[in-house]
């Protein structure tokens, strides 16, 4: 296994490892002899340190939703509770994660997700407005539950690209519309 790093990096790590050892004539003689146990130990540890450093750089990039590739499944498990989008392209999965991560619900975000799939949102409507002047109930049971207030109608133009409708709906339900009861209308349907 060779060291795949620029020579100046290898020298920097070798110098850094040597500084971890005590100072003195004994240690200087050990480092002067390339076949001593201490010199061989330092050379043996160099690939591990370089691999660790490179891996940490890669994982730092994976910690950013906009750059992740290797940990897409883990990000989805974290934000959605399970992996939904296997088989979807990396760019679409990232865009969906960014939408969920931003957690701002509005018709603009719904339109952005629709554009990822090549759809266009023609109308977003909240038909019922919450207005409470007390609690309406019949006996013990309330007349309308909280879900009644969160109904949303979404009119979508799919432009003959209807093969991803189910994925589109699942993504919206799991990200933006998690607290809504949505009704989707496609291509002007009522």
Q: Which domain, by its residues, includes 120?
A: 72-186
Contact of 77 with 105, CB cutoff 8 Å: no
φ and ψ of 19, to 5 deg: -70, -20
In the predicted model, what is the mean pLDDT of residues 92-119? 77
| 95 shares a domain with 157 | yes
| 156 shares a domain with 98 | yes
Does residue 3 carry a pLDDT above 50?
no
What does the mean pLDDT of the chain come to? Answer: 78
Q: Distance between CA 71 and CA 171 in Å, rounded?
A: 18
In this prediction, residue 1 carries a pLDDT of 41
| 13 shares a domain with 94 | no
| 103 shares a domain with 26 | no
Domain stop point among 18, 33, 62: 62
Does residue 188 carry a pLDDT above 90?
no
Does residue 164 carry a pLDDT above 50?
yes
Residues 6+ apart with CB under 8 A from 114: 120, 121, 156, 168
The 10s digit of each residue's pLDDT in 111-134 is 888 888 888 888 888 776 555 555
| 124 shares a domain with 94 | yes
Total domain count for the chain?
Answer: 2
Confidence of residue 173 (pLDDT cuts 50, 70, 90): confident
Domain assignment present for 31: yes
In this prediction, residue 22 carries a pLDDT of 92
State both tokens at 124.
Answer: 């977003």
Domain assignment present for 115: yes
| 88 shares a domain with 11 | no
CA torsion, points 106, 112, 114, 120, in degrees to nearest 10?
90
| 98 shares a domain with 25 | no
| 48 shares a domain with 76 | no
Structure-token match 């050379």, residue found: 43
Confidence of residue 4 (pLDDT cuts 50, 70, 90): low
Residues 6+ apart with CB under 8 A from 162: 186
| 99 shares a domain with 174 | yes
Domain assignment present for 1: no
In the predicted model, what is the mean pLDDT of residues 106-115? 82
Domain assignment present for 118: yes
Domain assignment present for 45: yes
The 10s digit of each residue's pLDDT in 22-81 is 999 999 999 999 999 998 988 888 888 888 888 888 888 888 888 888 888 888 887 777
In this prediction, residue 69 carries a pLDDT of 86
User: Which alpha helices (DSSP H) does the chain contain, by range?
Assistant: 7-20, 25-32, 37-62, 72-80, 90-102, 107-116, 165-174
Contact of 182 with 147, CB cutoff 8 Å: no
DSSP 53-92: HHHHHHHHHHTSTTT-STTHHHHHHHHHSS---TTS-HHH
Nearest to 7 by CA among 55, 46, 33: 46
160 or 40, greater pLDDT? 40
In this prediction, residue 134 carries a pLDDT of 52
In this prediction, residue 179 carries a pLDDT of 67
Nearest to 180 by CA among 155, 149, 156: 149
| 98 shares a domain with 138 | yes
Contact of 22 with 68, CB cutoff 8 Å: no
pTM reported for the whole predicted model: 0.43
Domain assignment present for 2: no
In this prediction, residue 53 carries a pLDDT of 83
| 80 shares a domain with 164 | yes
| 150 shares a domain with 80 | yes
């Amino acid at each position: 296994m060779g060291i795949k790093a620029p020579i100046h990096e290898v020298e920097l790590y070798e110098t850094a490892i040597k500084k971890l050892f005590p100072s003195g004539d004994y240690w200087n003689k050990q480092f002067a002899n390339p076949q001593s146990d201490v010199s061989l130990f330092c050379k043996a540890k160099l690939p591990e340190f370089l691999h660790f450093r490179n891996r940490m750089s890669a994982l730092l990039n994976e910690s950013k939703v906009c750059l992740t590739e290797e940990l897409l499944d883990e990000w989805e498990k974290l934000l959605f509770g399970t992996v939904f989008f296997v088989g979807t392209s990396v760019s679409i999965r990232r865009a969906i994660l960014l939408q969920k991560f931003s957690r701002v619900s509005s018709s603009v975000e719904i339109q952005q997700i629709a554009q990822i799939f090549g759809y266009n949102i023609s109308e977003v409507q909240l038909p019922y407005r919450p207005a409470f002047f007390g609690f309406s109930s019949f006996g013990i049971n309330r007349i309308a539950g909280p879900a009644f207030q969160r109904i949303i109608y979404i009119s979508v133009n799919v432009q003959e690209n209807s093969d991803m409708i189910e994925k589109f709906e699942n993504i919206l339900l799991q990200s933006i519309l998690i607290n809504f009861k949505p009704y989707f209308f496609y291509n002007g349907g009522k």
